[in-house]
Amino acid sequence: MARGESERRRLTILGATGSIGTSTLDVIDQLGGRESFEVVAVTGNGNVELLAEQARACGARIAVTADESRYAELKQALSGSGTAVAAGREALIEAAAMESDWVMAAIVGTAGLAPTLAAAERGADIALANKECLVSAGSLFVDAVAQGGGRLIPVDSEHSAIFQSLEDDQRHAVERIVLTASGGPFRTSTREQMAGVTAAAARAHPNWSMGLKISIGSASMFNKALEMVEAKHLFDVRPDQIEVVVHPQSVIHSMVGYTDGSVIAQLGCPDMRTAIGYALTYPKRPSLNVERLDFTRLSRLDFEAPDEDRFPALRLARVALERGGLQAAVMNAAEEVACYAFVDGRIGFLDMAEIAEEVMDGMIGCGSATKMAHVFEADAEARRMAREIISKKEMAA
Ligand code: NAD
Ligand code: MG
DSSP string, 126-143: EEE--HHHHHHHHHHHHH
Q: Ligand 2 mean position to 157 CA, how many Å?
A: 5
Whether 277 is covered by a domain: the verdict is no
Picking from 154, 189, 217, the residue at the C-terminal end of a domain is: 154
Are 170 and 244 members of one domain? yes
Are 348 and 222 members of one domain? no
Whether 73 is covered by a domain: the verdict is yes
Are 38 and 94 members of one domain? yes
* pLDDT > 50? residue 2: no
* pLDDT > 60? residue 4: no
Are 256 and 354 members of one domain? no
Q: Which atom of ligand 1 is closest in space to residue 44's alpha carbon?
A: 11
Are 111 and 260 members of one domain? no
Are 258 and 365 members of one domain? no
b/e sequence 334-367, b meaning 16+ C-beta within 10 Å: bbbbbbbbbbeeebbbbbbbebbbbbbebbeebe
Q: CA-CA distance, 82 to 87, in Å (whole number)?
A: 17
Are 12 and 100 members of one domain? yes
Q: CA-CA distance, 365 to 367, in Å (whole number)?
A: 5
* pLDDT > 60? residue 165: yes
Amino acid at 69: S
Q: CA-CA distance, 248 to 173, in Å (whole number)?
A: 29
* pLDDT > 70? residue 383: yes
Are 131 and 196 members of one domain? no
Q: 168 falls in which pLDDT band (50, 70, 90)?
A: confident
User: Whole domain around residue 190: which residue ranges?
Assistant: 161-270+304-320
Q: CA-CA distance, 264 to 178, in Å (whole number)?
A: 10
Number of domains into which the chain is organized? 3
Task: Name the strands in the sheet holding 62-65, side by side, starting at the edge strand that comes first in the sequence.
Answer: 84-87, 62-65, 37-44, 9-14, 102-105, 125-128, 152-154
DSSP one-letter string for 310-369: T-THHHHHHHHHHH-TTHHHHHHHHHHHHHHHHHTTSS-TTHHHHHHHHHHHHTTT----
Whether 90 is covered by a domain: the verdict is yes
* pLDDT > 80? residue 199: yes
CA atoms within 13 A on the CB side of 270: 14
Which of 392, 310, 394 is CA-nearest to residue 359?
392
What pTM, to 2 d.p., does this model score?
0.97
Whether 278 is covered by a domain: the verdict is no
Are 352 and 392 members of one domain? yes
Q: What is the pLDDT of residue 218?
A: 97
Q: CA-CA distance, 378 to 374, in Å (whole number)?
A: 6
**Mean pLDDT throughout 168-175?**
91
% of the chain at pLDDT higher than 70: 98
Picking from 95, 126, 154, the residue at the C-terminal end of a domain is: 154
Picking from 128, 154, 180, the residue at the C-terminal end of a domain is: 154
Are 49 and 110 members of one domain? yes
* pLDDT > 90? residue 207: no
Provide the CA 48 distance to its chain's centre, in angstroms: 22
Q: CA-CA distance, 62 to 85, in Å (whole number)?
A: 6
Q: Which residues line ligand 1 (CB under 6 A)?
A: 15-21, 44-45, 47, 66, 92, 106-108, 111, 129-132, 156, 208, 210-212, 214, 272
Ligand nearest to the CA of 335: 1
Checking 285-289 for CB contacts under 8 A at 24+ apart, the result is: 286/27, 286/30, 286/31, 287/31, 288/27, 288/30, 288/31, 289/30
**Mean pLDDT throughout 237-253?**
97
Q: Tens digit of pLDDT for each residue in 72-129? A: 999 999 999 999 999 999 999 999 999 999 999 999 999 999 999 999 999 999 999 9
Q: Ligand 2 mean position to 388 CA, how many Å?
A: 30
DSSP, collapsed to helix, strand or coil, labels residue 277 as helix
Q: Tens digit of pLDDT for each residue in 297-337? A: 998 999 999 999 999 999 999 999 999 999 999 999 999 99
* pLDDT > 60? residue 1: no
Which of 33, 76, 30, 35 is CA-nearest to residue 52?
76
% of the chain at pLDDT higher than 90: 95
Q: What angle do CA 197, 302, 193 make, to 5 degrees?
A: 15
Q: Which atom of ligand 1 is closest in space to residue 214's alpha carbon?
A: 34
Whether 290 is covered by a domain: the verdict is no
List residues bridging with 255 in a β-sheet: 178, 265
Q: How many CB atoms within 10 Å of residue 380?
A: 12
Give the residue, by CA position, lying nearest to ligand 1 atom 25. 211
| CATH number where 33 lies | 3.40.50.720
Q: Which atom of ligand 1 is closest in space to residue 130's alpha carbon?
A: 32
Q: What is the mean pLDDT of the chain?
A: 96
* Alpha carbon separation from 259 to 225, 256, 360 (Å, rounded): 25, 10, 35
| CATH number where 394 lies | 1.10.1740.10
Q: What is the pLDDT of residue 357?
A: 98
Q: Which atom of ligand 1 is closest in space to residue 156's alpha carbon?
A: 43
Give the residue, by CA position, lying nearest to ligand 1 atom 36. 129
Q: What is the pLDDT of residue 205?
A: 82
